[in-house]
Structure 1
Amino acid sequence: MSGAGSGFNRRSVVGWLAVVGMPSGAQELTPSRAGAPVDLPSLIKRSRSSVLLVGTFGETDSPRFSFRGTGFVAAEGNLVITNKHVLPEGGEMTGGRRLVVRAATGPTGRWVMREVEVLKLDRERDLALLRVQGEALSPLALASDQVAQEGKSVAILGFPVGGALGFSLVTHRGIISSITPIALPQASAQALNEKSIRKLREATFNILQLDATAYPGNSGGPVIDLETGAVVGVLNMVLIKGSRETALTHPTGISYAIPVDLVTKLLARAD
């Protein structure tokens, strides 16, 4: 997001902010008792293997793994949520490259790579549902759509700046500063016509504005309510000043997340 006013520039924010599972048998992370605050260190420890690296893998490439963004396990242990813009375009999947996730499993956090397939897309809300192969991972609990409220404390989990700082799970804290309607625009002005404008109006939905710092690599990561321990949103965009590079050097501390009720609807379409 850049420029004057409040318009979203997805080419300078979301397209660049590829801002981009617990082991089998582990217990699902469930919300805490009503009114009981979540112990943040325990929350991070329990979530570590449920928050995944999303990228592509090519056996003969260097590097073989190319990081694109964050995802997290939801619902059944073989379903993963991330942003649509985290996924590679068709032309990028050449030479036998495969879409994969990497999960930190076991007591030592050993990285395990799994192939995934795209199960469902919600292009208007920039969400993607993936199916991961192999043994089930432990999902994060999803909040009800009434949980997200302005002023609530949240934690963002993900892999900011990707491999530049090493693939270690990073947590940022913040609050939900606003819940406001948005319609994500077309990729270019040339795509705007009567039909697309009508579609934009129909696609209006609420987005969570966060008073929290996020970076490239965080896209697709969970936003967790610190009162319940449940996911209330999916990190999607950051507000930037000036060029895209200033998201690293001069972060605004303003981020945006897709609310969890849209995730729940996408999961329902997988049945």
Structure 2
Amino acid sequence: MRRSALYSSSRSARPAASPPETSASASQAQDSAPAQQAPAPRRRRLSLSSPVLMWSAILLLSALLALSLSLSLRPQQRPITQKDINAAVLKTMETQVLPSEYAKAYENIRPSIVRVVGYVKKSKLKESMGKSHGVPRAKPKALGPAVEPDTNDDNEEVEQGVGTGVVIIDKGVILTNLHVVSGSDRIRVTFQDGLEADAAITGVQPENDLAVLQASKIPDDLIAATMRSTGDLAPGDKVMAVGFPFGIGPSASGGIVSGLKRAFRSPEGKQEMNNLIQFDAAANPGNSGGPLVTMDGEVVGIVTAILNPTPARTFIGIGFAVPIENAASAAGLPPF
């Protein structure tokens, strides 16, 4: 009779049947073994990169040392002084061509310069020429049938003389010399832009040979000259005369103030003027009535006469101008 197998109810013998656990722990040990052995390659990488870090540090330190050495050897820049600035400005002025003082003065006064022409009728001119030369009128000889005189020809206007004027008020008020317009039947002025207009005498100052004109029409952009007191004017100061010498112009000529408070007597001895500005800028017939200006282009006088003991009536280095204070009073303007 076959017996059934007997199984013990005790559990003390179960530990003997735990080989699977052993294998599991072995597998865990095997799994953990790589984890414990993993740091070996990391240590290997650190050991490989340490020379690179070392050389990088060396190079960085070397660069810092070189930079500090160069900074220490570089000369220290001193602060810029006013002397340095002046030297730089002078050097720039030497290397770059700048407009001259006379060019600046001319540019400032040019818009205010006016050409003044006086016209007279031929009949009047013939009378004045006959009187001036003392030539008696002779009776014409009979040469045939009588011819009616051409009265229209006698009424024709001819140019008596050319002078210069300067605009002192932008409404068309012009200063010039009295001898430029005296005795004229008609006065014609020409402005900078070419506009021509008739003008009338509104004031005179015979003792200073001055006349004030009013133009019948003016340019839209007419500019009046700036007048300057002669109180600080001194011999040796640069001046410029602007006008129409012999009808050519406007022409500019430069010079200096030769003297102040000069007296001048006309060649005919009819008039003596005092308190004049003497200058050596070239002036000739046609400059009369034009401005004498400073290097700022400001008017200090009105050119009125030149001294030449010969009959040539050309410039020999001595010119005279009426101070602008006198000229302004002729126009009814307040003194400076």
Is the 2:169–2:224 contact (alpha carbons within 8 Å) kept by the matching residues of 1? yes
Partner of residue 101, structure 1: 189
Partner of residue 211 from structure 2, selected from 103, 108, 128: 128
Partner of residue 150, structure 1: 235
**In 1, Cα distance between equivalents of 2:234 and 2:161:** 32
1:255 aligns with 2:319: yes
Q: Percent identity?
A: 25
Partner of residue 82 from structure 1, selected from 163, 176, 190: 176
Could you report, residue by residue, the CA deviation over 1:118-177 in whole angstroms, capped at 9, with x for unpaired residues?
Answer: 111000011111111223521110002313221110010001111xxxx42110000001
Partner of residue 211, structure 1: 280
**In 2, Cα distance between equivalents of 1:237 and 1:139:** 24
Could you report, residue by residue, the CA deviation over 1:163-218 in whole angstroms, capped at 9, with x for unpaired residues?
Answer: xxxx42110000001002427579667x9xxxxxxxx7xxx641111122211111
**In 1, Cα distance between equivalents of 2:281 and 2:115:** 21
Is the 2:176–2:288 contact (alpha carbons within 8 Å) kept by the matching residues of 1? yes
Report the more deviating stretch, 136-145 or 252-261. 136-145
**In 2, Cα distance between equivalents of 1:173 and 1:103:** 22
Is the 2:303–2:322 contact (alpha carbons within 8 Å) kept by the matching residues of 1? yes
Partner of residue 47 from structure 1, selected from 93, 109, 112: 109
Query: In the superposition, relative to structure 1, how do residues 77 and 221 fare at CA in structure 2: closer, same or farther (>3 Å)?
Result: same
Is the 1:75–1:141 contact (alpha carbons within 8 Å) kept by the matching residues of 2? no
Could you report, residue by residue, the CA deviation over 1:11-50 in whole angstroms, capped at 9, with x for unpaired residues?
Answer: xxxxxxxxxxxxxxxxxxxxxxxxxx97432332343231
Letter in 2 for 1:236: T
2:191 is paired with a residue whose SS is strand
Bigger Cα Rg: 2
Cα deviation, residue 242, structure 1: 1.8
Cα deviation, residue 222, structure 1: 0.3
Cα deviation, residue 263, structure 1: 1.3
Could you report, residue by residue, the CA deviation over 1:91-128 in whole angstroms, capped at 9, with x for unpaired residues?
Answer: x52xxxx21111121xxxxx211111111100001111
Partner of residue 236, structure 1: 304
Number of matched residues?
Answer: 202
Letter in 2 for 1:71: G
Partner of residue 79, structure 2: none
**In 1, Cα distance between equivalents of 2:267 and 2:101:** 41
Partner of residue 182 from structure 1, selected from 245, 257, 263: 263
Partner of residue 34, structure 1: none
Task: Determine which structure has the larger helix proportion and give its number.
Answer: 2
2:277 is paired with a residue whose SS is strand
1:161 is paired with a residue whose SS is helix
2:325 is paired with a residue whose SS is helix
Partner of residue 7, structure 1: none
Query: In the superposition, relative to structure 1, how do residues 187 and 238 fare at CA in structure 2: closer, same or farther (>3 Å)?
Result: closer
1:221 aligns with 2:315: no
**In 1, Cα distance between equivalents of 2:284 and 2:224:** 24
Partner of residue 331 from structure 2, selected from 258, 267, 271: 267
TM-score (norm 2): 0.53
Letter in 1 for 2:114: L
In the alignment, structure 2 segments of 5+ residues that lack a partner are: 1-98, 122-152
1:48 is paired with a residue whose SS is helix
**In 2, Cα distance between equivalents of 1:147 and 1:116:** 34
Partner of residue 160 from structure 1, selected from 211, 224, 245: 245
Partner of residue 223, structure 2: 138
Task: Determine which structure has the larger strand proportion and give its number.
Answer: 1
Partner of residue 72, structure 1: 166
Is the 2:289–2:303 contact (alpha carbons within 8 Å) kept by the matching residues of 1? yes
**In 2, Cα distance between equivalents of 1:243 and 1:138:** 38
Letter in 1 for 2:297: G
Partner of residue 201, structure 2: 118
Cα deviation, residue 223, structure 1: 0.3
Letter in 2 for 1:42: K
